Amino acid sequence: MGQLCIYLPPFASDYSGVCSALYDLGCLTIINDASCCTAHYVYCDEPRWSRQQRPVLCTTLRNVDAILGQDAKLVERVCDAAVNMDVNLIALVGTPVPAIIGMDTAGIAREVEALCGKPALGFDTTGFAYYDKGLVMAGKALVERFAERDVRVVPGRVNILGMSPLDFGDVGNDADLVTLLEGAGIMVGARFFMGLTLEQLRDCGAATLNLAVSAAGVQLAKYLRRRFGTPYLAGFPMGGAHTQCWLDRVKAALAGSVPAPQVPQAAGAPGRALIVGDQVLADSLRERMRLEGDGRGIDVASFFAWDAAAAQAGDAHLANEAAYLRLLRDGTYDALIADPFLGDVPAAADLDFTSLVHPAVSSKLHWGDAPRFIPS
Amino acid sequence: MARVGDKRNDDLAGSGSPGLSFYLPEVSRKHTVLHIPGSHTLYVGPLSCTRRHDIHARQYGERKDVSFLFISQADVVSGRYEDLMVESVGELLELLDPAPRIFQLAVFCIDDFLGTDETALLERLRRAYPQCQFAIDHIDPVSLNERMNMASNLLSTQYSFILPRAPHEHDNGVNLLGTFVPFDPDCDLLHMLAGWGLGPLRALHACETYEDYQAMGASRLALVFRLMNTASADFMRDRLGIPYIVATPSYDAQAVAHLYCDIARELGEPEPDLSAQVEACREDAQRTARLLDGLPVAIDCEFSLMVFAAAKALLGYGFNVRCIFRSNHRFKLDAQAESFILEQCPQVLVTRAESHTHLYESALGSDCLALGVDCARLLDARYVVDIWHDEGYFGFQGIHKLMAAIRAAVGKEG
Q: How far is A316 from chain B (nearest CA, A)?
A: 21
Which residues in chain A are closer than 8 Å to B16, comparing Cβ atoms?
62, 64-65, 68, 70, 73
pLDDT at site B331? 63
What's the confidence (pLDDT) of residue A261?
64
User: pLDDT value at position B33?
Assistant: 76
Residue A59 lies in a domain: yes
pLDDT by residue (tens digit) across A126-142? 999 999 999 999 999 99
pLDDT of B7 > 70? The answer is no
Contacts of B14 in chain A (CB under 8 A): 64
**Chain A interface, mutation test: which of B51, B52, B103, most A Cβ atoms within 10 Å?**
B51
CA A116/CA A369 separation, integer angstroms = 42
- Give pLDDT, residue B330: 66
Q: Are strands B66-70 and A4-5 parallel, antiparallel or unpaired?
A: antiparallel
- Residue B52: which of A44, A62, A100 has the nearest Cβ? A44
Chain A, 311 to 340: residues with Cβ < 8 Å from chain B are none
**Residues A125, A164: one domain?**
no
Is residue A238 domain-shared with residue A342, that is, in the same domain?
no
Looking at the fold, whether A233 and A192 belong to one and the same domain comes out as yes
CA B239 – CA A320 distance, rounded (Å): 43
Q: Is A192 contained in some domain?
A: yes
CATH 3.40.50.1980 fits B39-159, yes or no: yes
Asked if B55 and A16 come within 8 Å (Cβ–Cβ), the reply is no
DSSP β-bridge partners for residue A297: A272
- A78 part of a folded domain: yes
A22, A124: one domain: yes
Residue-wise pLDDT tens digits, B25-71: 988 877 777 889 999 999 999 999 999 999 999 998 889 999 999 99
Inter-chain touch A61–B328, beta carbons under 8 Å: no
The SS3 assignment for B331 reads coil
* Residue A148 CB burial class (10 angstroms; 0-12, 13-18, ≥19): exposed
CB contact under 8 A, A5 and B26: no
Mean per-residue pLDDT of chain B: 91
For B179-224, what is each residue's pLDDT tens digit? 888 899 999 999 999 999 999 999 999 999 999 999 999 999 999 9
Looking at the fold, whether A106 and A204 belong to one and the same domain comes out as no
From chain A, the residues in CB contact with B107 under 8 A are none
Write the CATH number for A75: 3.40.50.1980
Nearest-angstrom CA–CA distance, A215 and A171: 20
Report residue B105 CA to chain centroid gap.
21
Give the CA angle between residues B133, B134, B136 to the nearest 5°. Answer: 165
A160 with A220, same domain: the answer is: yes
Q: What is the DSSP string of A311-349?
A: PPTT-EE--SHHHHHHHHHTS--SEEEE-HHHHSSGGGT
Q: Sheet with B21-22: list strands edge to edge.
A: A120-123, A89-93, A27-31, A56-58, B21-22
Enumerate the residues of chain A whose CB falls inside 8 A of the CB of residue B49.
36-37, 40, 96, 127
pLDDT computed for residue B398 by the predictor? 97
Q: Is residue A113 part of a domain?
A: yes
A113 and A211 co-located in one domain? no
Please judge whether A30 and B20 are an interchain contact, meaning their C-beta atoms are less than 8 angstroms apart: yes
In this model, does residue B8 exceed pLDDT 70?
Answer: no
Q: What is the pLDDT of residues A220-229, one digit of tens each?
A: 999 999 999 9
- Residues of chain B contacting residue A13, judged by C-beta atoms under 8 Å apart: 46-48, 51
Alpha helix locations (H) across chain A?
14-22, 36-39, 63-68, 71-84, 96-101, 105-116, 131-146, 165-168, 173-183, 198-202, 215-228, 241-254, 279-291, 321-329, 340-343, 359-362
Q: Classify the C-alpha dihedral A127-A131-A133-A136 as positive or negative.
A: positive
- Cβ <8 Å between B142 and A126: no
B109 inside 8 A of chain A by CB: yes
State which of A219, A254, A289 marks the end of a domain. Answer: A254
Q: Cβ contacts (< 8 Å) between B361 and chain A: which residues?
A: 84
CA distance B310 to B293: 19
Of residues B45, B55, B91, nearest to A44 (C-beta): B55
DSSP H helices, B217-372, are 230-240, 253-267, 275-292, 307-317, 335-344
Contacts of B9 in chain A (CB under 8 A): 77, 80-81
Residues A33 and A101 in one domain: yes
Interface of B with A in 198-237 (CB under 8 A): none
pLDDT digits (tens, 9 = 90+) for B84-131: 999 999 999 999 999 999 999 999 999 888 888 899 999 999 999 999
List the single residue in B69, B70, B113 with the smallest CB-CB distance to A100: B113
pLDDT at B145 over 80: no
Read off the pLDDT of each residue in A180-200 and give the average, rounded to a whole number. Answer: 98
pLDDT tier at A258, thresholds 50, 70, 90: confident
Minimal C-alpha gap between A221 and chain B (Å): 26
Q: Of all residues in chain B, what percent carry a pLDDT higher than 90?
A: 76
Does position B2 have pLDDT exceeding 70, yes or no?
no
Q: Do B21 and A60 touch (CB under 8 A)?
A: yes
Q: Is residue A220 part of a domain?
A: yes
Containing structural domain, residue A356: 272-369
**Which of A57, A65, A108 to mutate against chain B (most B CBs within 10 Å)?**
A57
| A21 in the same domain as A80 | yes
CATH topology of domain B7-23+288-410: Rossmann fold (3.40.50)
- How many domains are there within chain A? 3
Average of per-residue pLDDT across B359-374: 93
Q: Is the ipTM of this complex over 0.90?
A: yes
In a domain, A260, yes or no: no
Min distance A306 CA to chain B CA atoms (Å) = 19
**When comparing pLDDT for A90 and B112, which is higher?**
A90
Cβ within 8 Å, pair A63-B139 = no
Q: Which of A3, A45, A64 is facing B84, going by the closest CB pair? A: A3
Bridge partners, B46 (sequence order) = none
Domain membership flag for residue A134:
no
Q: Taking CB atoms and an 8 Å limit, are A4 and B46 in contact across chains?
A: no
Judging contacts by C-beta atoms under 8 Å, the chain A residues touching residue B47 are 10-11, 13, 127-128, 130
State the SS3 of A135-195. HHHHHHHHHHHHCCCCCCCCCCEEEEECCCHHHHCCCCHHHHHHHHHHHCCCEEEEECCCC
Position A286 in a domain: yes
Nearest to A128 among B14, B46, B360 (CB): B46
- Write out chain A residues lying below 8 Å of B149, CB-based: none
A223 and A276 share a domain?
A: no
Residues of chain A found within 8 Å of residue B76, distances taken between Cβ atoms = 100
pLDDT of residue A86: 84
pLDDT value at residue A376: 55
A22 lies in the same domain as A125: yes
Q: Is B33 an 8 Å CB contact of chain A?
A: no
Confidence of residue B140 (pLDDT cuts 50, 70, 90): confident
A341: domain CATH number is 3.40.50
Q: Does A80 touch chain B (CB under 8 A)?
A: yes
| Chain A residues within an 8 Å CB radius of B88 | 1, 3-4
A1 touches chain B (CB under 8 A): yes
Share of chain A above pLDDT 70, in %: 98
Q: Where among A95, A129, A163 does a domain terminate? A: A129
Those of residues 119-148 in A touching chain B at CB distance below 8 A are 126-128, 130
Q: Is the pLDDT of residue B166 over 70?
A: yes
pLDDT at B329 over 90: no
Of B52, B58, B84, the CB nearest to A40: B52
Instruction: Check whether B311 has a pLDDT greater than 70.
Output: yes
Q: Could you say which of A78, A96, A129 is where a domain stops?
A: A129
Chain B contact set for A49 (CB, 8 A):
25
How confident is the model over B256-269, as pLDDT tens digits?
A: 999 999 999 999 99
Rounded Cα distance between A132 and A138, Å, is 10
Nearest residue in B to A83, CA atom: B360
Asked whether the beta carbons of residue A43 and residue B23 sit closer than 8 angstroms, the reply is yes
For a pLDDT cut of 90, what percent of chain A falls above it?
90
> Rounded to the nearest 5 degrees, what angle is found at the Cα of B341, between the Cα atoms of B336 and B344?
105
Tell me how many residue pairs between chain A and chain B have CB atoms under 8 A apart.
192
**Domain positions in chain B:** 7-23+288-410, 39-159, 167-247
pLDDT at B4 over 50: no
Cβ distance A100 to B76 less than 8 Å, yes or no, reads: yes
Q: Does domain B167-247 have CATH number 3.40.50.620?
A: no
A170 and A230 fall within a common domain = yes
Q: pLDDT by residue (tens digit) across A280-291?
A: 999 999 999 999
Q: Would you call A59 helix, strand, or coil by DSSP? A: coil
Residue B14, pLDDT score: 55
Residue A41 DSSP symbol = I
Residue B79 is predicted with a pLDDT of 82
* B59 and A CB contact within 8 Å: yes
Q: Which residues in chain B are contacts of A30 at CB distance < 8 A?
A: 20
Instruction: Identify the three-state secondary structure at position B338.
Output: helix
